[in-house]
Structures are given as structure tokens and as C-alpha cells.
Amino acid sequence: MFQNKLRKAGIALFTAAILLTGCGGGDTAQTDGSLNEGVPKDAYEIQWYFTGNPNQTDIASVEAEINAYIQPKLNATVKMNSLDFATYENKINMMLAGGEPLDLLFTCSWCANYSLNVAKGAFLPLDELLENYAPETKALLGEEFLRGPEIDGQIYAIPANKDKGHNWGFVYRKDLVEKYNVDIENINSFEELEPVLQMIQQNEPDVTPLGMAGGRTTVNLLDFVSINNLLGGFFPDSTEETMVNLYETQEYADAVALARRLYEAGYVRRDCAVSQNYSSLQKEGAFFVSLEQLKPGKADELSSTAASGVEFIQHDVTPPRITTGDTIGSMMAIPINSKNPERVMMFIELLNTDSYLNNLVNYGIEGKHYTKKSDTIIELVPDSGYSQAGSQWQFGNVFLNYILTNEDPNKFVDLAAYNEAATPDKTLGFSFDTEPVKNEVVACENVKKEFVMPIETGSVDPNEYLPQFLTKLKQAGSDKIMEELQSQYDAWKAANQ
């Protein structure tokens, strides 16, 4: 269903040809001082798309440095195409549908939707390519983690080697926590946070007490695991094997009622349901506190990209757990219309294993975009025109990253321990095949686009709008989706016990 058999056969034949020519024969580059042995003679430009700041003024010099470095190794260059979050998904979907030149792209469960694009046949299966052209990446990620992006036994994108689980907690402006001596360690719910929000509102008129946006609301603190980011799934403490529709639960109703109360109290921005500049406002210090998906050093990463003088501090509320959503939270996919997926996978392997290339992509050129303080610690040059700080999770193996001067030197030691401590969710490795209910999925997604953001940010009264939302979901086929979801989960569980 998901596999293009002719394309897969072509990959297999090409793989065999490369392996044979790499052993000494065929039309490949020889060891002549310019190219590594076994690298094809035909040069190739990799069209790479990812999210970030599209207005970085010095991306051209970094791209040139990357290409000077990888060309002798791969006989390939990359064209770096950085798009902002607001336009990324629509742009990528249009390019995929139009068959435009596209070789490597960022995908996940919540942007350039991984499972839906696989269902459309937009991404190549990567198992053979990973085995033959990125064996170190495969070993680095491990068999268990690679189960996450599997669909029908095939992998269609390569996860980043980063935090392998998730947890939720609050991120605060450090200066205001210290100014008002806020005991953040004992605030583990929005209800416990409310008196502090009121204090900030009364004493800091230029600060919005609570940053609220999609994916950062009272609902997210429930830590509900929705399969394929759709309707159904489990709460973290669930012992049942029957999935529930999140939007029909009492927990959801209570969470959105709380969001409405916070909104009506004036603790959040009036435009939080439609604003596209949440990240910019956060980095400017516009919010006292926000709910965030955390990991060790998350607050330090935010501080590294914030306006001058703005620092953040975090408090973890929920324990770390590994879900399928975590394994597909940041990945690189090779689209079906790539003309040279083999070379693209070689680049992925280099990005995951070569420290110089990895840091060049993330931080730019030493002496121009950053300065070294030690072998592992760097300081960014202000307004240098290039930095991917804050987005390192998009670019392969974060354990190769330099550590910024305002970050904990033990950042990656802590991150490794975090990964080790994260508990695998019972749905890890399960992915929903939406094909049998694809029309219902599209219809329900359209309903969600209409209702979820206004309801979950508290921008509308849930007493009025939640019943409308549930009715429209029913009309769009939510019950049919839930039945199919449960059936597939039961079959998967029986096959994997």
C-alpha cells in the first residue's frame, strides 16, 4: 500500500551497482586526491528543506563552506532552503504534489505530517538505503528507537538522535522568578500556578502572565498519547486496552474549562488562538511562564536564542516517557521525487557522524558566527547572520553539537541519562494506517482546524463550542476512525506480544 514497488526495485538495483563499483570497477571516482574511492562521478545537488529563520543574512557563506567540505567526500553539494513554520507545511505539500525538485526534508507528527505523507506515497522507504549507506546512523539510533517510524514494517524517515522521550513542565522568566521569589518547584499544575499569574498581572503590566498557543495549553499537561496525532489514544496512567477519543473525555472538558478561566482572567493574550508569533514573543520575554515539552537543558536552549538579557528556567512536571510520537518528533525524509536518494542518504550519514559538518550546519563558521571557548564550548557572535541555535533537534545527532556558554556543560550527559530513564509507552512502535478511513481522517482534521485552537486556548466558551465540536466530529466520521484505530491496535498488539 505504502510502497512503490517499481521504485523499491530500482533502489535495490542501484544499491547493487554502487556496491559493485565501489569495490573497484565501474563508473565511479578513483582515489585521485579529489574524491573518496567509490564515490560516483556524477555530481549532484541535494535540495534540502527545513524549518527555521528564512531571513538569515549569511546562509550563503555557510552553504558554500558545507559544500567545500562535503564535495570531496560525496561529490555532492546541498542547497539549504529554510522556511518559517507558518509557511513550511503548505509549501512542502505543494512541492510534493507538484513533483518539484526535493531531496531531503524535515517531517514529524505535527508538521509535514509523516504518516499522512507516507499514506500518500510521498516518501521513499529507507530500510535498504539506511542499511547500505548509513550503517553508523542505524547503529547509533538502535533497533528499538527505529521501531517508532515503522509503517507496515518499513521506515520512511530517519529520526534525529536527540531526546528520545518527552515530558511536560513550565518554563519561566528567570529574572521574575527571582524578583518575586517564586517557588517553582512546588507548582505542578495550572491551578497551583493561578495565584502567581495573578501576582504577575498586578505587578508587571508589560508582561503577559501566561504564554498560550497551540501545543502549549492546559490540555497538553494531560500528556494524552494520541495515535498519529489524530483522535484516539491513552492517558499515561491508563491500564485499559480500549482507546478513548480525547475530545469526548471528562479530562478534556475540565482542561478546556480551565483554559477558558485563565483566558477570561486576562492571563493570556487575546489573539493566542490565531497568532503566528508565539516563539518571537517568548524570546523577547513577553511571557512570564509557558507550558513546554521539556528535556534537560530546554530552558538554556531557549535562553541562547532569546533577546539580550532574557534568561529562562524550567521545572519538570510529568515524568519522561517514550512514545511513537517522540520517535517521529523530528525526522528527515527523502521524497519519492528525489533523483538520487542514495547520495542523500550518504549526506544523512555524514551529518550524523561528522562533528565538523554537524556543527557547521548548526552554528556556522568559526571566527565568523561563533568563537570557541574550549574544544566543546562556543559563544555565538551576536547578529552574525547565521545560527540554528534552538533548532539543533532538526539536524541529526545532537550529541555532536557544541555546547553554548550559557548551557550546562553536562548537558549531553544529562540528556543521555534522561533517555535511559524514559519509560517506553505501550503504544511504542504502533502507527495507524489511515488508508481505510482516509476520507474520515481528512474530514475530522478539517473540523479540528475549526475548533481545537479556539477551544484549547480558552478563546471561546467550551460550554457552547465543545458540543458543536463533538457533533461535527461525529458527522465527519470520528466513530469510524476510532473503530478502525482500535482494530489495528488490537491486531498490532497481538502480533507483538
At 229-242, the pLDDT tens digits run 789 999 998 998 99
Alpha carbons within 13 A on the beta-carbon side of 223: 22
pLDDT at 219: 97
Percent share of the chain, pLDDT over 70:
92
pLDDT at 24: 31
pLDDT at 37: 63
> Does pLDDT of 19 surpass 70?
no
What's the chain's average pLDDT?
90
Q: pLDDT category, 248, cuts 50, 70, 90?
A: very high
pTM value? 0.77
Question: Taking Cα atoms as reference points, which of 160, 149, 155 lies closest to residue 125?
Answer: 155
pLDDT at 29: 40
Amino acid identity at 381: V
> Does pLDDT of 217 surpass 90?
yes
> Does pLDDT of 34 surpass 70?
no
pLDDT at 38: 63
> Does pLDDT of 147 surpass 80?
yes
Residue bearing the bigger pLDDT, 283 or 116:
283
Coil, strand or helix at 216: strand
Asked whether 305 and 390 are in contact (CB, 8 A), the reply is yes
Asked whether 154 and 127 are in contact (CB, 8 A), the reply is yes
Q: pLDDT category, 97, cuts 50, 70, 90?
A: very high
Residue bearing the bigger pLDDT, 183 or 42:
183
> Does pLDDT of 135 surpass 80?
yes
Q: What ranges do the domains of the chain cover? A: 5-163+326-363
**CA distance to 172, 310, 384, per residue, from 369 (Å):** 28, 21, 5
> Does pLDDT of 33 surpass 60?
no
| CA distance linking residue 209 with residue 425, whole number of Å | 33
Q: pLDDT category, 445, cuts 50, 70, 90?
A: very high
> Does pLDDT of 25 surpass 90?
no
pLDDT at 266: 97
> Does pLDDT of 410 surpass 50?
yes
| CA distance linking residue 121 with residue 336, whole number of Å | 7
Interval 269-295 mean pLDDT:
93
Interval 8-25 mean pLDDT:
36
> Does pLDDT of 431 surpass 90?
no
* 142 Cβ contact list (under 8 Å, min separation 6): none
* 87 Cβ contact list (under 8 Å, min separation 6): none
pLDDT at 115: 83
Which superfamily, per CATH, for 5-163+326-363?
A: Periplasmic binding protein-like II (3.40.190.10)
> Does pLDDT of 228 surpass 90?
no
Asked whether 233 and 427 are in contact (CB, 8 A), the reply is yes
> Does pLDDT of 28 surpass 70?
no
Q: pLDDT category, 6, cuts 50, 70, 90?
A: very low
Q: pLDDT category, 432, cuts 50, 70, 90?
A: confident
Interval 310-326 mean pLDDT:
93
pLDDT at 1: 37
Residue bearing the bigger pLDDT, 227 or 363:
363
Residue spans of alpha helices (H) in 22-167: 59-74, 85-98, 114-119, 127-133, 135-141, 143-146
* 359 Cβ contact list (under 8 Å, min separation 6): 400, 401, 402
pLDDT at 36: 60
- pLDDT tens digits, 419-429: 999 998 899 88
Using the structure block, give the residue that is written with the C-alpha cell 505501550.
426
Least confident segment among 1-10, 325-334, 452-461: 1-10
> Does pLDDT of 215 surpass 70?
yes
The cell numbers describing 272, all together, are 493566542
Tell me how far apart the terminal alpha carbons of the chain are, to the nearest angstrom.
Answer: 25
pLDDT at 11: 37
